[in-house]
Structure 1
Amino acid sequence: MDMDDNKRRRSMLIYVLIAIVVYLAVSQTLYPNLVSSQVTETSYSQFLEDVDNNKVVSAEIDTSNNEIRYTEGTGDSQKIYKTTAWPNDDSLATTLKEHGVDMTASIPDTSGDLWLYMLIAYGLPLVGLFLLGWWANRQMKKQMGDDGPSMNFGGGGFGMGGGLGRSNAKEVKGEDTGVTFKDVAGQDEAKESLQEIVHFLKNPGKYNEIGAKCPRGALLVGPPGTGKTLLAKAVAGEAGVPFFQISGSEFVEMFVGRGAAKVRDLFKQAKEKAPCIVFIDEIDAVGKKRDMSINSNDEREQTLNQLLSEMDGFDNHKGIVVLAATNRPETLDPALLRPGRFDRRIPVELPDLAGREAILKIHANDVKMERDIDLSVIARSTPGASGADLANIINEAALRAVRYGRNRVSQEDLEESVDVVIAGEKKKSTVLSEHEKEVVAYHETGHAIVAAMQSGSAPVQKITIVPRTSGALGFTMQVEEDQHFLTTRKEAKDKIAVLCGGRAAEELIFGEMTTGASNDIEKATQIARAMVTQYGMSDKFGMVALGQQRSRYLGGGEELTCSEGTAQEIDNEVQALVEEGHTQAMETLKANRFKLHEIAHYLQKKETITGEEFMKMLKRDDGFAPQFSGQSAQ
């Protein structure tokens, strides 16, 4: 595509240069006076005076225009004048002869001037119009991918049709994607499902012999940032076939019929380049469920109907595979998901512990790092992080290393980048008063002590009271030692108790409540409501689903599927679970009041302590706090 654009630009420049040269040549040839000389108009009396003074060399009487054109001087000093002839001046010829003036009288041929005037007045604008039309037509073809006929106007043509129905799909050769399965980590199951498609595109004959058909399409579903587009490019890179990429939103047009025309053109291009891969990103923009609403026959629905017919109509022996990605599969039309269109639904979920470490290693290969880097610590510190989040963590660490004047990334850079991604940068403009700093220190220590006193809970890795740009005045980080896929009822209750630990510490020490527990309350209520409505962990309702999750991959929360009376009882049950956790946290802190004071005071001075420091202070019986160095942790 770039080479074609360069050729078009060079051709355009050549056309413009040729037009300029032709214009100058015609002007010099037909009307040299326009370029080389000028005629000065003067009075008849001045003409007679110049004749009397013997300045006039030659004179030409133009009888048709009643004009006298005369010259003075020779060579480079020659000047040309013109004046209107005096009527009935019979003595003029005698006077000119007496002063030796070379006289001529003729009717000049003005046909050359006429042709030049016509060329300048009409020819050049037409040439300019032709060049402008040619350029506009080329630009429209380039933008819309139009290689076919178009409605032309004025010779060059302003493209008015044809290209408006082009798909605008970006075509990339398989080897030019620069991505293979080696560049994708943490999605082993997805890669295994797509590997069969790669084998078919490479060796279709082997499958045709046994009568097997390649899947017409595969739908990649998962949260944002998990690598759905990357996987599609990797399939094309592995198979070495053309790769057509287009977004679902590009099919949605304001004019009825345009979207359907783009779908037809997309599959026409695919058939010409088969075997190939067609990747439709964010297909939910065009593939939403059809309904019986008043606007059911809109442009989007017609586009979807065309997409359904195209996917069901092409001959798959040629090797056309349609890959699509979405993070809202529940909104797609059932006809789009049936076998024969999208035969496979491939989940691309958030990576687990091993997957996160593998992703970090891939991105770490592009960054200079110190030798003693332990990526497993970062992987354990980032549960629920997507591949894009992990790539951002590595990049933030590299940026921090440059900011501090180092040429390699350290473990400290990586750990701080985790905090930046989770809670934001340190907010230097926020300076807490000593009392507020003390309240935040007790709050975070309350979380940490309640967590440490529970059996089987995630150990505390870091406690900090440094304000962050996310609005958090501090946080306590817990890191799981191993990957857990199931949560028991007791573990869920313990999580609620840990979240209530901050507010319980404030009440126990200061006898007051602050707004600092707002995020804790939100998370505790969310866990308690899920226990009642989704997990069947309520003594009152038992194993009954009272709600359903909306937009699973986009964090859309849940929607209750019960009566209003039951909803009121659910609220009471949720309130009881949170209050139970609050009571548990208060009892734990009362039993460890001395440690709460000791650790909170130490945290207030140092601002950031590690989980190792915290556990040493918590388990030591002498009550002697470690010496403070006088510098806050970075």
Structure 2
Amino acid sequence: MAEKKTPPPSKNPRQFAVWGLIIMLLMIVFAVSQSGTNSAATGDAFTFSEFRDRVEQGDVQSAKIDIPGGVVTGTLSGGETFSVNVPPVSEDPAGEVLAGADIPYEYAERKSENPWLTFLFSMLPLLIIIGLFFLVFRNMQGAGRGGAMSFGKSKAKLLTENTKRVTFEDVAGVESAKEDLKEVVEFLKDPSKFTRLGARIPTGALLVGPPGTGKTLLARAVAGEAGVPFFTISGSDFVEMFVGVGASRVREMFSEARKHAPCIIFIDEIDAVGRHRGVGTSGGHEEREQTLNQLLVEMDGFEGQEGVIIIAATNRPDVLDKALLRPGRFDRQIEVPYPDIQGREKILEVHMRGKPMAADVDVKYIARGTPGFSGADLANLVNEAALLAARRNKLKITMREFEDARDKVMMGAERRTLAMSDEEKAMTAYHEAGHAIVGLNMKGSLPIHKATIIPRGRALGMVQYMPERDQISQSREEMIARMAMAMGGRAAEELHFGYEKVTSGASSDIEQVTRIATAMVTEWGLSDEIGPIAYKDTDQQSFMPGIGRGSSISPETARKIESEIKRFVTEAHEKALEILKKKKKDWIALAEALLEYETLSGDEIKVLLEDGTPPKRPDTKPGARPAVSAVPTTKKPKPKPLGGAAEA
């Protein structure tokens, strides 16, 4: 086995400069201190007047004058030494006094000055300024290209084969998008296959889809499959406060890409730089527009970009400039939608690789229960399940962890520490049981997955449904069933506790029903009174589309729309009341079971309603907590939000 060589320590010029300045300052301080020590006076210190008097009295025996230092030292008649500080003037007053009294004296020898010390003293201010400027310059420049002095350089990061390689095997759930990008991979591998037939590969491909669907991962997979360099940059990295900087970065990026051709340039969130031109307040001189103009030129210039393919991603294609989408630039738009049930199953399998899974984990069942989840959501789901298994000290991830992780991702964490009175628990149980019973007795409703009265997130309880397939569209029957099921909680409170004790817990249910009824009347043409006419308005301040300020409809039509919306909501409420009165026995049995067990699965609810037998659980003792069939106290309940039916 070859010996591993220790890499040489990195040399940082900034560290050398700092240590050089410190050493220089220490040398100067030492030189100044030595200079002060050599010129320090010794013996008794006299003033110049006292020195003159001593000379006139004959007390001074000899003296030595140091003119540059401004000090006179000498010996008195009694052998004592003295020193006198003389102001540094052009004359020699001490010498005149000594000469007038005929006292022997001499001048101190002038020491030759150190030229290096003199040079340091003269250059010290300049050296300090240069050192500070160097340090500030290095701090501004930061690490590599990210500094302020290199703002004209491209911020694109180059990923090569040495970086973690991603291929199409690592991307699941977007099969149609992978098929569209396979010809880009073939072109990068063998361009002659296309050029000999006169074909021209698209210059750019625009990946369009909601956040988290894997657009960036898909672009990296293209580079990984082709084995070519991959430049990645965000659209916001082009835009700066300095005019012309973004255009300079675009030129720099394409210049670097040509050196590594064939390669891929990936621009994430291109809508940050590719918005419609002429919309801003500064007109055509806006920095963003200059950056966009340079990008358009580079993508469709006279020379062409041989071997350089641009892949961009956005979730807002409607705001992009039309020049970007014309043939010759981003002429191919590839949809990256939310994955269907088969796609979710494959994505889950990808994220489960390398993780210990228990035998009871059913990937298909998890995929069924996660409609509308993106790839990022599913990755988060698997990670949450692994974290739960680790906290529970399990060696493998079981189905229970996936169930709890799904509830946590969709509804929030459990709040078992929330203090609820028996009255509030009873209110929650009958509320959720009302949702479940109405849903089970409405044609077109989804199968029930679980009912619980455990507080989670902002809800005190919920009923979850398990769709058997992905629903692309909904029928009128299904919409009416959803509205009746949502009103089941409010109807249950009215029937069991009385109209005066109805709480605000059904607020989210009422909002959901109103939204569905409004769409049925104003958008989907499902009202017999209004007909198949769309009255949707862009006024965002109005509660119901088409009826707010700025609407072009007449007051009579607005009243008809309001009347139809109210009719749909009222009929849903009346239908829920009718079902609960008819199925009162099942409703009360389910509510009492929820009070005893807190959570019931769909199968347990089915057995309970068919056979009347409560669920048998090894970890639960039935009867440990008495079921509450009525409110145990006359105290008025506090209005707290109760969770409605949670559409899975």
**Is the TM-score greater than 0.5?**
yes
Question: Which residue number corresponds to residue 563 of structure 1?
Answer: 553
Q: Please tell me whether residue 525 in structure 1 is matched to residue 525 in structure 2.
A: no
Q: 1:133 to 1:293 in 2, by over 3 A?
A: closer
Q: 1:249 to 1:550 in 2, by over 3 A?
A: farther
Task: List runs of 5+ in structure 2 lacking aligned partners.
Answer: 1-7, 52-61, 76-80, 87-93, 626-648
Q: Please tell me whether residue 502 in structure 1 is matched to residue 454 in structure 2.
A: no
By how many angstroms is 1:415 displaced?
Answer: 0.5
Query: Of 13, 16, 19, which aligns to 1:14?
Result: 16
Higher RCO (C-alpha 8 Å, min separation 6): 2
1:306-317 correspondence runs (5 A):
306-313=294-301, 315-317=303-305
Q: Please tell me whether residue 222 in structure 1 is matched to residue 212 in structure 2.
A: no
Query: Of 625, 629, 632, which aligns to 2:622?
Result: 629
1:405-444 correspondence runs (5 A):
405-444=393-432
Match for 1:14: what amino acid? F
Q: State the distance in 2 between where 1:140 and 1:171 align.
A: 23
Secondary structure at 2:207's aligned position in 1? Answer: strand
Kindly provide the CA deviation profile for residues 89-119 of structure 1, in whole angstroms up to 9, marking residues without a partner as x: 46999989xxxxxxx8564144426x51441
Q: Please tell me whether residue 462 in structure 1 is matched to residue 450 in structure 2.
A: yes
Kindly provide the CA deviation profile for residues 49-84 of structure 1, in whole angstroms up to 9, marking residues without a partner as x: xxxxxxxxx99754665645799xxxxxxx999976
Question: Which residue number corresponds to residue 482 of structure 1?
Answer: 469
Question: Which residue number corresponds to residue 612 of structure 1?
Answer: 603
Question: Which residue number corresponds to residue 330 of structure 2?
Answer: 342
Q: State the distance in 2 between where 1:237 and 1:93 align.
A: 102
Question: Which residue number corresponds to residue 385 of structure 1?
Answer: 373
Is residue 235–residue 268 contact of structure 2 (8 Å, CA) maintained in 1? yes
Is residue 39–residue 82 contact of structure 1 (8 Å, CA) maintained in 2? no
Q: State the distance in 1 between where 2:359 and 2:219 align.
A: 34
Q: State the distance in 1 between where 2:528 and 2:256 align.
A: 60
Question: Which residue number corresponds to residue 633 of structure 2?
Answer: none
Q: Please tell me whether residue 324 in structure 1 is matched to residue 312 in structure 2.
A: yes
Secondary structure at 1:539's aligned position in 2? Answer: coil
Secondary structure at 1:547's aligned position in 2? Answer: coil
1:540-559 correspondence runs (5 A):
540-547=529-536
Is residue 450–residue 501 contact of structure 1 (8 Å, CA) maintained in 2? yes
Match for 1:478: what amino acid? Y
Kindly provide the CA deviation profile for residues 16-50 of structure 1, in whole angstroms up to 9, marking residues without a partner as x: 4456667778999x99945997844444779x9xx
By how many angstroms is 1:595 displaced?
Answer: 0.6
By how many angstroms is 1:283 displaced?
Answer: 1.8
Secondary structure at 1:372's aligned position in 2? Answer: coil
Q: Please tell me whether residue 131 in structure 1 is matched to residue 135 in structure 2.
A: no
Question: Which residue number corresponds to residue 191 of structure 1?
Answer: 178
By how many angstroms is 1:318 displaced?
Answer: 2.1
Query: Of 359, 370, 380, which aligns to 2:358?
Result: 370
Secondary structure at 2:487's aligned position in 1? Answer: helix
Q: Please tell me whether residue 258 in structure 1 is matched to residue 249 in structure 2.
A: no
Question: Which residue number corresponds to residue 361 of structure 1?
Answer: 349
Task: List runs of 5+ in structure 1 lacking aligned partners.
Answer: 1-5, 49-57, 72-78, 97-103, 148-158
Q: State the distance in 1 between where 2:247 and 2:507 align.
A: 49
Q: State the distance in 1 between where 2:316 and 2:477 align.
A: 32
Question: Which residue number corresponds to residue 274 of structure 2?
Answer: 287
Question: Which residue number corresponds to residue 246 of structure 1?
Answer: 233
Match for 2:313: what amino acid? A
Is residue 218–residue 343 contact of structure 1 (8 Å, CA) maintained in 2? yes
Is residue 464–residue 607 contact of structure 1 (8 Å, CA) maintained in 2? yes
Question: Which residue number corresponds to residue 602 of structure 1?
Answer: 593
Q: 1:119 to 1:507 in 2, by over 3 A?
A: same
Match for 1:409: what amino acid? I
Q: Please tell me whether residue 211 in structure 1 is matched to residue 201 in structure 2.
A: no
Secondary structure at 2:114's aligned position in 1? Answer: helix
Question: Which residue number corresponds to residue 388 of structure 2?
Answer: 400
1:78-157 correspondence runs (5 A):
87-89=96-98, 107-112=109-114, 116-120=117-121, 122-142=122-142, 145=145
Secondary structure at 1:210's aligned position in 2? Answer: coil
Question: Which residue number corresponds to residue 202 of structure 1?
Answer: 189
Is residue 39–residue 81 contact of structure 1 (8 Å, CA) maintained in 2? no
Is residue 546–residue 562 contact of structure 1 (8 Å, CA) maintained in 2? no
Q: State the distance in 2 between where 1:624 and 1:64 align.
A: 113
Q: 1:211 to 1:498 in 2, by over 3 A?
A: same
RMSD: 3.8
Q: State the distance in 2 between where 1:36 and 1:212 align.
A: 88
- Give the stretch that moved more between structures: 242-251 or 337-346: 242-251
Q: 1:403 to 1:526 in 2, by over 3 A?
A: same
Secondary structure at 1:457's aligned position in 2? Answer: coil
By how many angstroms is 1:292 displaced?
Answer: 6.1
Q: 1:393 to 1:44 in 2, by over 3 A?
A: closer
Q: Please tell me whether residue 586 in structure 1 is matched to residue 570 in structure 2.
A: no
Is residue 441–residue 604 contact of structure 1 (8 Å, CA) maintained in 2? yes
Kindly provide the CA deviation profile for residues 422-479 of structure 1, in whole angstroms up to 9, marking residues without a partner as x: 111112343222222212211111111122223453211110011122x111110110
Query: How many residue pairs align between the two structures?
Result: 581
Match for 1:570: what amino acid? I
Secondary structure at 1:384's aligned position in 2? Answer: coil
By how many angstroms is 1:183 displaced?
Answer: 2.0
Q: 1:550 to 1:336 in 2, by over 3 A?
A: farther
Secondary structure at 1:482's aligned position in 2? Answer: coil
Q: State the distance in 2 between where 1:80 and 1:429 align.
A: 88
Match for 1:272: what amino acid? K
Question: Which residue number corresponds to residue 53 of structure 1?
Answer: none
- Scaled by the length of structure 2, the TM-score of the pair is 0.79
Q: 1:81 to 1:246 in 2, by over 3 A?
A: farther
Question: Which residue number corresponds to residue 263 of structure 2?
Answer: 276
Secondary structure at 1:137's aligned position in 2? Answer: helix
- Give the stretch that moved more between structures: 432-441 or 127-136: 127-136
Q: State the distance in 1 between where 2:355 and 2:362 align.
A: 14
Is residue 606–residue 630 contact of structure 1 (8 Å, CA) maintained in 2? no
Q: 1:603 to 1:24 in 2, by over 3 A?
A: closer
Q: 1:539 to 1:314 in 2, by over 3 A?
A: farther
Is residue 299–residue 305 contact of structure 2 (8 Å, CA) maintained in 1? no
Is residue 187–residue 194 contact of structure 2 (8 Å, CA) maintained in 1? yes
Secondary structure at 1:145's aligned position in 2? Answer: helix
Please identify which structure carries the higher helix content: 1
Q: 1:562 to 1:144 in 2, by over 3 A?
A: farther
Is residue 46–residue 84 contact of structure 2 (8 Å, CA) maintained in 1? no
Question: Which residue number corresponds to residue 51 of structure 1?
Answer: none
Kindly provide the CA deviation profile for residues 478-526 of structure 1, in whole angstroms up to 9, marking residues without a partner as x: 1012333342221222222221222222223233232111222222222
Match for 2:528: what amino acid? D
Is residue 63–residue 107 contact of structure 1 (8 Å, CA) maintained in 2? no
Q: 1:203 to 1:587 in 2, by over 3 A?
A: same
- Give the stretch that moved more between structures: 566-575 or 280-289: 566-575
Is residue 598–residue 625 contact of structure 1 (8 Å, CA) maintained in 2? no
By how many angstroms is 1:369 displaced?
Answer: 3.1
Q: Please tell me whether residue 176 in structure 1 is matched to residue 163 in structure 2.
A: yes
